[in-house]
Copies of this chain bind each other. A is one copy, B any other.
């Protein structure tokens, strides 16, 4: 029931030409007479000839496919990364195989291996939280160009495209200080989360620069940050004798959990306690008050990562430079920090 897909051979027979000539005619090789070229191209469009890119790539050891591994595809920010990747890849004639690691290190390695098996030309990866064992990733790098994006790692010597995490967090905390906050809590993750560590560093630097004390009691660390964790941590903060006057949650989810809990406690936001999140997720404008947060240009990060990856694919013998490219993010100020007088 399926029609047979047209091939060079079939067209060559039909036209009484050799396969080579047909191939050259379609690729606009200068040797071919314009008459032959026209005949071939006419037939090609008539039968809707589409070159088999694998036969092509198989010869050239190239599939024009990029592999993408992300921890969780349902996160809005991740989808913006992917959109950027798809667009840029498409412009450059690449397709994209996507897979999820579910923040599972074993699965992450598995995914990398199938990527190799499927012959991708390079891999883009946001690494899973809790990736302590770098070996499997290093192995991939010996076989294939690899670029990390968003969730990166200082320990892996490859090109990384990230946002200015530390600076963005610094700016967020500085904003809280500027609106008069002096006791700023943070809800963060453990040291195995790249993003969390960077944001925490920005938080610490801002407090130091403005001579604010660092108080362990309002530095809350959770294993796997979420809205629920934001609620729980905020309850802990509300039970303190010395309550904070601001909360910097390193994800929007946790920040929204914080806002929900503060509202239950009848705390005025931002007058009593201001809240800042991170990501500019869709939810951040649904919650009331709307959330001040850091907008991360996911699409740009994705597109940039593709550019660097293809550069490495096209120049396999150039010694790698392994830059870390920081894409700028912006603080979006909304009602959760800005009291409208």
Which A residues fall within an 8 A CB radius of B? 1-3, 5, 48, 50-55, 57-58, 63-65, 73-74, 76, 79-80, 82-83, 86, 90, 95-100, 113-114, 116-119, 139, 142-145, 256, 282-283, 286-288, 316-317, 319-320
| Residue among A51, A76, A86, A98 with the highest chain B CB neighbour number at 10 A | A98
Complex-state Cα separation, A317 to B282, whole angstroms: 46
A53-B119 in contact (CB<8A): yes
Q: Which 7 A-B pairs have the closest CB atoms?
A: A74-B79, A286-B286, A50-B117, A283-B286, A98-B98, A3-B142, A95-B97
For A6, the closest partner residue in chain B by CB is: B143
A316-B97 in contact (CB<8A): no
Complex-state Cα separation, A151 to B185, whole angstroms: 45
A96-B95 in contact (CB<8A): no
Q: How far does the Cβ of A332 sit from chain B's closest Cβ, in whole Å?
A: 17
For A66, the closest partner residue in chain B by CB is: B97
For A145, the closest partner residue in chain B by CB is: B2
Q: CB < 8 Å: which of B82, B113, B316 contacts A50?
A: B113
For A282, the closest partner residue in chain B by CB is: B283
Q: How far does the Cβ of A165 sit from chain B's closest Cβ, in whole Å?
A: 22
For A82, the closest partner residue in chain B by CB is: B73
Q: How far does the Cβ of A59 sit from chain B's closest Cβ, in whole Å?
A: 10
Complex-state Cα separation, A83 to B74, whole angstroms: 8
- New A-B pairs, 10, CB < 8 Å, besides A50-B116, A54-B118, A74-B76: A54-B54, A54-B58, A54-B63, A65-B118, A73-B79, A73-B82, A74-B80, A86-B100, A96-B99, A256-B286
Asked, given contacts A96-B98, A98-B96, A99-B86, whether A143 binds B2 with beta carbons under 8 Å apart, the answer is yes
Q: CB < 8 Å: which of B86, B119, B287 contacts A286?
A: B287
For A115, the closest partner residue in chain B by CB is: B95
Asked, given contacts A74-B76, A74-B80, A316-B1, whether A54 binds B57 with beta carbons under 8 Å apart, the answer is yes
Measured between beta carbons, the chain B residues less than 8 angstroms from A86 are 73, 98-100
Measured between beta carbons, the chain B residues less than 8 angstroms from A90 are 99, 114
Measured between beta carbons, the chain B residues less than 8 angstroms from A317 are 1
Measured between beta carbons, the chain B residues less than 8 angstroms from A83 are 73-74, 100
| Residue among A90, A95, A97, A117 with the highest chain B CB neighbour number at 10 A | A95
